[in-house]
Amino acid sequence: MAEKITPPGGEERIQAMSDRENAPYPRGDGKVKLVTTDWLADHLYDEDLTVLDTQPNVHDYIQEHIPGAVYLNEGVLRVPERGFPTAFSPRACIQESFQRVGLKAGSPVVVYTGKGAFSGQGDGLAQMMMAYSLAKYGHDTVYILDGGIDTWKSENRELSQEYPAIDPSGFTGELRSDYAIGYDEFVQIKDDDNVVVLDARPMKFYAGKGPWRLAGHIPGAISLPWRSLMDDGNPALFKPNAELDAILEDHGIDRSMTVICTCGTGREATNEFVLFKWLYLYPRVRLYEGSFTEWSIRRENPVVEGPEPGGRRARPAPAQ
């Protein structure tokens, strides 16, 4: 008898997944799920539903958005901290922003983004950043529109230029501290046998020089470019489940391990945090928010170049 092969999410995921068209997906009590355009069209005018437009430029929202959506740019999610440029915003800042768009922790919120019709910008990551931050700061029912506004538009669905009347809410942010991992803890556990560190940046940055002072990557980190997980033509649309299963199996990312998601600034890694924690139901997933930007500014930290987790040690480059 042939050996039974269990997909990377394990039996728990098999029980939860069924079909991605059966939204919200996957079933279960996860804080973040995917929904389809059909689901959103059916629920768009639900009284308790909030829809957040996170398109890259406010002019994109002004020109066109899904009816009833309120604009919230992902820029509110990060502010400098003691000069460090990519720190996630403190709870008080996030709470004020979420209150202004009328969010309620117990009522569902749909987030979407897309390639802006006005700006021509947009890499699809804004909805992942927003979904991660919503859940991290206490929201309980976050839905990501799989495919974003671009899929919505490709189906000739209704668009609007009206702005909804929003009453501020009493949203109270409650930090879920087990999502992010800080520098000190990261250094302490990253080389443990039961830990796998992923780098979501493009391979050219993982292997070589990007905008950082040092080239390469954190020693031991496995390259898993976030874009490889998404549809070739739409970076806001996950690839089919079978293709995602194959990618994860090829990378040997076992669900028994603690998965630490990293990238350049903590933004790209939110894509993989969402995938592993809420779509694949891995039990131990963390996000190193400081990522390579924080790692590389500490001169005592080694880095390696090349396409493999190991490699030759890079020399510190002088600050420009």
pLDDT greater than 60 at residue 28: yes
Mean pLDDT confidence for 221-229: 98
The CA distance from 88 to 103, in Å, is 19
Place of tokens 């490709």: 154
The CA distance from 232 to 157, in Å, is 22
Longest Cα–Cα distance in the chain: 62
Confidence band (pLDDT; 50, 70, 90) for 2? very low
pTM for the model:
0.93
Name the nearest CA neighbour of 66 among 110, 2, 132. 110
Catalytic residue annotation: 263
Lowest mean pLDDT among 21-35, 44-58, 98-112, 306-320: 306-320
Lowest mean pLDDT among 11-20, 47-56, 187-196: 11-20
pLDDT of residue 7: 58
pLDDT of residue 20: 84
pLDDT of residue 317: 47
pLDDT of residue 1: 39
Confidence band (pLDDT; 50, 70, 90) for 248? very high
Name the nearest CA neighbour of 291 among 76, 77, 82, 88. 88
Domains along the sequence of the chain with CATH: 31-154 (3.40.250.10), 183-297 (3.40.250.10)
| 308 Cβ contact partners less than 8 Å away, ≥ 6 residues apart | none
Enter the DSSP assignment of 238: B
pLDDT of residue 105: 87
Confidence band (pLDDT; 50, 70, 90) for 3? very low
N-to-C CA span, the chain: 62
- Collapsed DSSP state (helix, strand, coil) of residue 66: coil
Q: In this structure, what token pair is assigned to residue 73?
A: 């740019």
pLDDT greater than 90 at residue 316: no
